[in-house]
Chains A and B, each alone.
Chain A
């Protein structure tokens, strides 16, 4: 087994998680070190593997490892095959790299939690499952990783299970993800029926010969799976509640990695989506709706984590829009996924650092003027902010700009929506920025903001650096587009207007967003500690734009009514008939009980009467 074995990559965090969970409290003292070390070791393996890929010629940049034959049923054989190629290569670096930084950060953030060891075990479990997801060489193994990250997400959202809201949120995430998982299961079954195989090479090689409607159905089923995992419309409502988990979890799972699995799935299945215009259009529409929805929700939330969660929804909406554009967009979706992984993890960890200093208060109306007392956090958060709103030369500028451009190339409407999204992003992120770090201090009594320890600030600084340089670096130094070309086959389209207009236009929209936010929440403006009632638009956005209401009305309400009807039928009809029979016989028994006197002679009399009846009947029958 070489150093860059994919099995080793998955195995290290998995073994670490198993050790931490099996040893239990005995590993409390050193559990967090083991977890962090496992993650960093995995990162080392990932770096070695990617270096190996780089050293190979372009055509053979792939490491395949068949660990064992999973099962063989007739002609259908599934191997546990892990493969590192250009696409999964960037993912393993993101997962293990950002994962390791968040592990380090968690040592400080969770230091007061008595279950820290379990937290690290779950984090390692997540890393292993996520790596399995991206390394899998067939859809069935991907499904295992897909469920594995769902499980880890469930465990970590509900990590503070003593809070009712946390366990409810965990259940909500798990159940909504089941809906998406149904889509993945359906897609896998369709592939098996159509191609007789679920492995990537076979499926992608034969997808061209499949009937068109089958391809469309597979694509739509995969889209459903992506919607569930990536919190896209209409399965988006779990992500906001998922913020009940510890902040490192929000940063790692619900911002940087797991929620982007849907984007990975669509990008990985580009051979399928290339063939179905319907499927791509559906992805595009879903992405567009979600990017606007998430941005609007981000405007209204006072909870800093929920505002960031709305932003995450919105940014993943961008990625979905990009993959929905087809070959012109895949590369930019992955590009934005990576930069978003850096700056969103940075901002979530920054938010965690703020909460750490503010006695775990998440309400931004209780913040204000924190830039002095938390200088490092402010600096890193500022870089993340500049990156997300797309100010050059920070990371988000490059990636978002490319997506907007690709969207305009494909459709004016999609491009306009993406541009509008960029403006709203600038507005709500500026709002977060101003409410948290500028203005007057609105701190609750007893709160003494302080900077977080080095173990938390160092990951922040690293991520801030990445947020600053990753855009330029990935695009021009490493040349991500060329790296991914063998897999994603990018093309370019024609802009409907002069290309020189795009950059200034985008920056102008962003500037408008920032300026509007400055007037609403800037230094001159008094921010009430109690949230004002707001107009109908704000209230709707606070209510997640009806996400929960939608679920309540469309799914839960009818389900409850159906259940109530069935219960009523059960009680009034089934039970009543059964109990009615029982009652009838009880009543008859009560009547006939008086016949049972206990006196033998009475019984004898009854017997004689019976003999008479039997004899008479027999006699009459004989006569007739």
Chain B
């Protein structure tokens, strides 16, 4: 298949993830949406790797996965902590940081 198809799929998934981040209020689901966006970016990187015939794109995708894993671990720990203190997973309830 043409790389254009893969890139189009990547773009579509990215928009879906962005929509999830913006619309959903459950912190965990927002997190999942962010993961979806990262995966869309990875798909674009892998496609670019094939398009140019070098493996650098795949290595970048690999790094993106590592960073995403680290981010998930810390992010979920924060969510757990917020849940412990507020008894809620809604992101709108943790809105006091501006003060």
Residues of A within 8 A of B98 (CB): 596-598
Residues of B within 8 A of A596 (CB): 98
Residues of B within 8 A of A601 (CB): 21-22, 25, 30, 91-92
Tell yes or no: B89 within 8 A of A by CB. no
> Quick one: CB contact mask for B19-43 with A, threshold 8 Å, 1 for yes?
0011001000010000000000000
Tell yes or no: A608 within 8 A of B by CB. yes
| A590 nearest CB across to chain B (Å) | 14
Tell yes or no: A68 within 8 A of B by CB. no
Residues of B within 8 A of A597 (CB): 95, 98
Cα A244 to Cα B94 in complex, Å, equals 75
Residues of A within 8 A of B99 (CB): 598
Tell yes or no: A605 within 8 A of B by CB. yes
Cα A598 to Cα B22 in complex, Å, equals 15
Cα A596 to Cα B95 in complex, Å, equals 10
Tell yes or no: B96 within 8 A of A by CB. yes
Residues of B within 8 A of A598 (CB): 95-99
Tell yes or no: A604 within 8 A of B by CB. yes
Interface residues on B, range: 10 to 19
Q: Could you tell me which residues of chain A, from 577 to 624, have a CB within 8 Å of some CB in chain B?
A: 596-601, 604-605, 608
Tell yes or no: B18 within 8 A of A by CB. yes
Whether A600 contacts B91 in the complex (CB less than 8 A), given A608-B18, A608-B22, comes out as yes
- Assess whether B22 is in contact with A600, with CB atoms less than 8 Å apart: no
Cα A472 to Cα B91 in complex, Å, equals 110
How many A-B contacts at CB < 8 Å in the complex? Answer: 29
Residues of B within 8 A of A605 (CB): 22
| B37 nearest CB across to chain A (Å) | 10
Cα A601 to Cα B23 in complex, Å, equals 8
Residues of A within 8 A of B18 (CB): 608
Q: Could you tell me which residues of chain B, from 41 to 99, have a CB within 8 Å of some CB in chain A?
A: 91-92, 94-99
Cα A569 to Cα B18 in complex, Å, equals 55
Whose C-beta in chain A lies nearest to the C-beta of B91? A600
Residues of A within 8 A of B30 (CB): 600-601, 604
- For the residues of A in contact with B, the DSSP-based class is helix
Cα A596 to Cα B96 in complex, Å, equals 11
Whose C-beta in chain A lies nearest to the C-beta of B24? A601
| B97 nearest CB across to chain A (Å) | 6
Cα A519 to Cα B99 in complex, Å, equals 91
| B16 nearest CB across to chain A (Å) | 13
Cα A599 to Cα B18 in complex, Å, equals 16
- Assess whether A599 is in contact with B95, with CB atoms less than 8 Å apart: yes
Residues of B within 8 A of A600 (CB): 30, 91-92, 94-95
Residues of B within 8 A of A599 (CB): 91-92, 95
| A607 nearest CB across to chain B (Å) | 9
Cα A212 to Cα B95 in complex, Å, equals 86
Cα A605 to Cα B22 in complex, Å, equals 6
Cα A598 to Cα B99 in complex, Å, equals 8
Whose C-beta in chain A lies nearest to the C-beta of B98? A598
Whose C-beta in chain A lies nearest to the C-beta of B99? A598
- Assess whether A604 is in contact with B95, with CB atoms less than 8 Å apart: no
Whose C-beta in chain B lies nearest to the C-beta of A599? B95
Cα A529 to Cα B5 in complex, Å, equals 117
Residues of B within 8 A of A604 (CB): 21-22, 30
Whose C-beta in chain B lies nearest to the C-beta of A607? B21
Residues of A within 8 A of B25 (CB): 601
Cα A605 to Cα B19 in complex, Å, equals 10
Whose C-beta in chain A lies nearest to the C-beta of B33? A604
Cα A605 to Cα B25 in complex, Å, equals 13
| A572 nearest CB across to chain B (Å) | 37
| A602 nearest CB across to chain B (Å) | 9
| B82 nearest CB across to chain A (Å) | 11
Cα A179 to Cα B99 in complex, Å, equals 60
| B28 nearest CB across to chain A (Å) | 13
Cα A262 to Cα B36 in complex, Å, equals 94
Cα A604 to Cα B37 in complex, Å, equals 13
Residues of A within 8 A of B21 (CB): 601, 604, 608
| A500 nearest CB across to chain B (Å) | 105
Whose C-beta in chain B lies nearest to the C-beta of A612? B18
| B95 nearest CB across to chain A (Å) | 4
| B67 nearest CB across to chain A (Å) | 17
Residues of A within 8 A of B95 (CB): 597-600
Whose C-beta in chain B lies nearest to the C-beta of A605? B22
| B20 nearest CB across to chain A (Å) | 10
| A615 nearest CB across to chain B (Å) | 11
| A328 nearest CB across to chain B (Å) | 91
Cα A608 to Cα B22 in complex, Å, equals 9
Whose C-beta in chain A lies nearest to the C-beta of B14? A611
Cα A51 to Cα B21 in complex, Å, equals 108
| B32 nearest CB across to chain A (Å) | 14
Cα A598 to Cα B92 in complex, Å, equals 8
Cα A604 to Cα B92 in complex, Å, equals 12
Whose C-beta in chain A lies nearest to the C-beta of B94? A600
Cα A599 to Cα B98 in complex, Å, equals 9
Whose C-beta in chain B lies nearest to the C-beta of A593? B98
| B88 nearest CB across to chain A (Å) | 13
Q: Can you list 29 A-B pairs, Cβ within 8 angstroms, ordered by A? A: A596-B98, A597-B95, A597-B98, A598-B95, A598-B96, A598-B97, A598-B98, A598-B99, A599-B91, A599-B92, A599-B95, A600-B30, A600-B91, A600-B92, A600-B94, A600-B95, A601-B21, A601-B22, A601-B25, A601-B30, A601-B91, A601-B92, A604-B21, A604-B22, A604-B30, A605-B22, A608-B18, A608-B21, A608-B22
| Known pairs A600-B92, A601-B21 / 12 extra A-B pairs, C-beta < 8 Å | A596-B98, A599-B92, A599-B95, A600-B94, A600-B95, A601-B25, A601-B30, A601-B91, A604-B21, A604-B22, A604-B30, A608-B18
Point out residues on B near A: beta carbons under 8 Å. Answer: 18, 21-22, 25, 30, 91-92, 94-99
CB-based closest 9 A-B pairs: A598-B95, A598-B98, A600-B91, A596-B98, A604-B21, A599-B95, A608-B18, A605-B22, A599-B92
